[in-house]
Structure 1
């Protein structure tokens, strides 16, 4: 399968509109960017493709990277930067099956699937398919499994994608370091891991809640409560025994050296698994 990283940024993306920080200026100078999160997966054996999350930048991403229009979509959670691109289905796609978790979120009183069905009830193109966490389902000829992660206060899911050759892509989803053990088991041993890493641990001092899930050396592996630090994401990748790791959902707050370092992904990267 061919994996294209359409969007590797956080809520505001990099460069961030109206921002002249060193990292945003470096992104402009280097002609690179991080739009809001989305991953395109093409099953080259069947000619089908699907998206993991459909960001508000979906139209631009699909044009920029010249990928196939999606046949289906998986949505990990209901934050706008991960699902508001679904509106692009109008007059662009004849139909779009949308897969999302069926488990009820105590915070909202409904599942991710139910929220999507209600939010986009005006779009006849969308056909929402609730999926039970930990239960594999087929999408475009490959197997996907949603697993709960920790992104308080809302329910959020990571997932593993495996094709018939045994190639495996794992995505942590938006999460802090406290990914449940059962979810880690499903995400482990991936050929490619996309791990949420919003900032380096040193920036936890700027968060009102600081950092949590410190390692033995006292380095925070979670920034506040919702996202992993760079150090946390790399630590999780090591525990999951990922063959290759790319850090995503990266913000513009790190320095250019940190933001565009060895492990941090930028939009447009492609991988053949």
Structure 2
């Protein structure tokens, strides 16, 4: 299983348009992008691939990174930075099956799958398939499970991807606070690679109107407001889940410049191979240094 992080940023990305903060300036100087969230998963055994979330930056992501167009897509929730790239399917795909949860959201009165059908009914090359949360399905030779997480006020889902041939496991937290249900944590547990929402460091919670929540024993907030994990919360969750390798994603340009590009914060273009025996980093920066992550 080859995993490429096409988009590792939050809803505005880094650098943010029109922003001259030190973090955005440093990102420009380094040539680093954190575009809106999207992950490409390739089953190298079957030569098929899946796209998790359809970023508004879809076009540039696929022009910038050497990955094939997906054979299928999965949508975790209906916020624009995870869904609105679906419009790129127009005249690009002959057929694109899109998988999304069938649970009705009290806030919208429809499921994620139903929202996609309604919003993109003009895309006759897109077919939307209902998925029952916590029930595994096979897509492109891989086993996928949508797991409920906590991203109020909308329903949102994390994702577990397992290669049934090798046992390799990828877990994605989805957009979520630290308050992930027990059943979902159990499904996410023991991944080879964990991609965790970590929008800001805990020290910035005093800038949120609601402050921080889900504090640890030392009073450090594991959630920023109620919708996203802090860096500290994401790392605590990774430790609890027993993740072998963790990359922090969906990060904002609010990270101080001296922290914004430190490990384990991810940037666009990172690529990993999961083969059931460990995780190897494949992207250029690591290949040139001759290092791997196991």
| Offset from partner CA, 1:187-233 (integer Å, 9 cap, x none) | 00000000000000000000000000000000000001100000000
Aligned equivalent of 2:37: 37
Question: In structure 2, what is the Cα distance between the partners aligned to 1:68 and 1:9?
Answer: 21
Question: In structure 1, what is the Cα distance between the partners aligned to 2:32 and 2:184?
Answer: 33
- Aligned 1:1-273 pairs, distance under 5 A: 1-163=1-163, 164-273=165-274
SS in 1 for 2:11: coil
Gaps of 5+ in 1: none
SS in 1 for 2:115: helix
Question: In structure 2, what is the Cα distance between the partners aligned to 1:108 and 1:47?
Answer: 37
TM-score in terms of structure 2 length: 0.92
SS in 2 for 1:259: coil
Gaps of 5+ in 2: 275-294
Residue 50 of structure 1: CA displacement?
1.0
Q: Which runs of 4+ in 1 moved over 6 A?
A: none
SS in 2 for 1:6: strand
Question: In structure 1, what is the Cα distance between the partners aligned to 2:169 and 2:257?
Answer: 31
Question: In structure 2, what is the Cα distance between the partners aligned to 1:259 and 1:51?
Answer: 26
Q: How many residues align?
A: 273
Question: In structure 2, what is the Cα distance between the partners aligned to 1:259 and 1:198?
Answer: 11
Report the more deviating stretch, 253-262 or 51-60. Answer: 253-262
Question: In structure 1, what is the Cα distance between the partners aligned to 2:242 and 2:62?
Answer: 31
Residue 150 of structure 1: CA displacement?
0.0
Residue 262 of structure 1: CA displacement?
1.0
Residue 257 of structure 1: CA displacement?
2.2
Question: In structure 1, what is the Cα distance between the partners aligned to 2:23 and 2:271?
Answer: 23
| Offset from partner CA, 1:16-68 (integer Å, 9 cap, x none) | 01101010011011111100000001111111111000100001101100210
SS in 1 for 2:46: coil
Residue 246 of structure 1: CA displacement?
0.2
SS in 2 for 1:26: helix
Question: In structure 2, what is the Cα distance between the partners aligned to 1:210 and 1:116?
Answer: 32
Question: In structure 2, what is the Cα distance between the partners aligned to 1:75 and 1:205?
Answer: 31
Q: Cα RMSD (Å) of the superposition?
A: 0.5
